[in-house]
A = this chain, B = another copy of it.
Amino acid sequence: MRLLRRAAALRTLATPNQEATMSTVQGKVTLLSAGPGDLDLLTLRAAKALAAADVLLVDDLANADIVTLAKHARVIRVGKRGGCKSTPQAFIQRLMQRYAKKGLHVVRVKGGDALLFGRAGEEIAALREAHIPVDIVNGVSSGFAAAAGLGISLTHRDHCQGVTFVTAHMQDHSQPDWAALAATGTTLAIYMGMSRIASLTAALLDALPANTPAAVVQNAGSHEERRLVTTLDRLADEALAAGLGSPAVILIGGAIGEAAEFAARTDDTRSLAHAA
């Protein structure tokens, strides 16, 4: 029955009859968190949603192999590297709505957890305005995978009472208030910070000791994961020297000092580990 309805909905892509479609088939959009990289970090619920998808809109940051889990879906790659024009966000929102209004199950795949720095807020608002049901499937954000790669808790209670996830890439191109963030005493997990790592570490050094433990984890949670563990004052130079770049998470705070690499490190040896 479900397959019949879906087949009917797919036919309407070619011969649109919106009123009939809307009355018999209710489309929807699932905002799906693809996790940080390796496909086995998807949730069971995400795998089910992918298997049931009619249309897949796949983000740059998600593992490209995720399409293998969506056997029946038409796959559309979106995002800045996907060949879209200058307004990819508006384009993606139009695509989601168009297919959902045909009665199809649209799965919008986002890297990490969809609810952290993914512009999900704007997508949810637009879908709600268009009266299209939205499901959200959570996942593992790359900051958690970075901590797992380092073998540390984000919030070791000897060091801090929490963790702040912050993006260095702000809507108005300003910088976050690094002094205020440092004043919380929480571990800082900085996303999208690699292009301004020198300026952000300089700003943090006004508020935090030079020897504050610090790390960069590139491609956290994937087979290409690379890790650098050092101190705040050396972080930018060493990340540059090691050729680390986006996508990466920068971690700063006492809890990072629990990393085995940090404990083992001396002034003459630096740790740049590739995941096994």
Contact = CB atoms under 8 A, between A and B. Distances in A.
Nearest to A135: B148
A162 interface: yes
A30 to B, nearest CB: 11
Interface string A241-263: 00000000000000100101000
B185 A177 contact: yes
A156 B147 CA distance: 24
A40 interface: yes
Interface stretch (A44-52, A53-61, A210-218, A226-234): A44-52
Interface in A147-162: 147-148, 151-159, 161-162
A186 interface: yes
Given A140-B138, A151-B134, A184-B181, A164 B163 contact: yes
Interface stretch (A72-80, A95-103, A119-127, A195-203): A119-127
A98 to B, nearest CB: 22
A166 to B, nearest CB: 3
Contacts of A48: 40
Nearest to A156: B121
Contact of A180 (B39, B140, B152, B180): B180
A164 B167 contact: no
Given A138-B148, A148-B138, A161 B170 contact: yes
A41 interface: yes
Given A44-B47, A45-B41, A167 B155 contact: yes
Interface stretch (A4-12, A15-23, A109-117, A265-273): A109-117
A136 interface: yes
A138 B128 contact: no
A123 to B, nearest CB: 9
21 contacts: A38-B45, A39-B44, A40-B44, A41-B45, A43-B43, A44-B44, A44-B47, A113-B144, A115-B144, A116-B155, A122-B156, A124-B153, A136-B147, A138-B144, A140-B140, A162-B164, A164-B164, A164-B184, A166-B186, A180-B183, A181-B186
Given A43-B43, A166-B186, 17 more contacts: A39-B44, A40-B45, A41-B43, A41-B45, A113-B144, A114-B153, A115-B153, A116-B153, A119-B153, A122-B156, A122-B157, A134-B151, A136-B148, A158-B171, A177-B184, A180-B180, A183-B183
Interface of A: 35-36, 38-45, 47-48, 113-122, 124-125, 128, 134, 136-141, 144-145, 147-148, 151-159, 161-167, 170-171, 176-177, 180-181, 183-186, 221, 255, 258, 260
